[in-house]
């Protein structure tokens, strides 16, 4: 796996909305661009589901649906697969390389107050825990051994975008010591947070 994220201290994830979804309540497959600070696109990610089954799942289950996001480079080469299976309660997301090798996962954990997600490496060891507020989950610090080692933060995109669509932008800050696989899992965590907390606000 190439070092796509490692050279950067931070990246931005921008959701790409289709006009059909902007002007109607018709849920289309999610699409994202992940960009470096200089605006260079590092990868594109798009949700599978062009079939009738995928269409029905999106309209009926909204942000509760299972999904597969395929990440590709500008040439269309597969890079990473982000897979959320069907669950009745706490969500999880697996992250796999283009060769099928497991890179890690994101596990939603039960908590009475706030929101918690553990980021795990390929062996199941904890990379850190994302912690968010219960009522305004805009910022999720990644904490390990009591220290903040990264952050996922939803960013304001302007009143027109925020009021009329659920297109979101997230800023990710990485700990310098985090390796490429860990950063990729963190990108996957941002996708999962978008589905769970910002996907269906109407």
* Residues across the chain: 202
Using 50 as the pLDDT threshold, list the residues of the chain that sit under it.
Answer: 19-26, 51-52, 54-55, 58, 60, 159-166, 201-202
Task: Tell me the Cα Rg of the chain.
Answer: 16
Residue 179 DSSP code:
-
Which CATH number describes the domain made up of 10-198? Answer: 2.40.160
For 69-97, the pLDDT digits (tens) are 999 998 999 999 999 998 888 999 999 99
Domain boundaries, the chain: 10-198
pTM of the model: 0.85
Structure tokens of 90? 């706490």
For 91-126, the pLDDT digits (tens) are 999 999 999 999 999 999 998 888 999 999 999 999
Distance, in Å, from the CA atom of 150 to the CA atom of 34, rounded to the nearest integer, reads: 17
In the numeric block, the tokens 């997301």 are attached to 93
For residue 24, CA distances in Å to 57, 73, 110, 164, 200 come to 17, 30, 34, 10, 13
């Amino acid at each position: 796996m190439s070092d796509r994220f490692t050279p950067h201290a931070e990246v931005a994830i921008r959701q790409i909305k289709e006009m059909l979804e902007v002007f109607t309540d018709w849920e289309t497959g999610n699409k994202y661009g992940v960009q470096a600070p200089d605006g260079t696109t590092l990868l594109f990610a798009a949700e599978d589901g062009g079939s009738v089954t995928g269409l029905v799942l999106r309209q009926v289950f909204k942000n509760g649906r299972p999904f597969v996001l395929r990440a590709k480079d500008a040439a269309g080469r597969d890079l990473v697969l982000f897979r959320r299976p069907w669950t009745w309660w706490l969500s999880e997301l697996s992250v796999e390389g283009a060769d099928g090798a497991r890179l890690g996962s994101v596990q939603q954990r039960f908590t009475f107050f706030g929101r918690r997600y553990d980021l795990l490496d390929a062996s199941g060891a904890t990379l850190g825990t994302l912690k968010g507020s219960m009522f305004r989950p805009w910022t999720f610090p990644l904490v390990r051994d009591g220290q903040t080692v990264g952050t996922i933060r939803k960013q304001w995109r302007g009143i027109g975008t925020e009021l009329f669509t659920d297109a979101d932008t997230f800023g990710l800050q990485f700990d310098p010591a985090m390796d490429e696989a860990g950063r990729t899992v963190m990108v996957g965590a941002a996708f999962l947070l978008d589905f769970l907390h910002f996907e269906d606000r109407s």
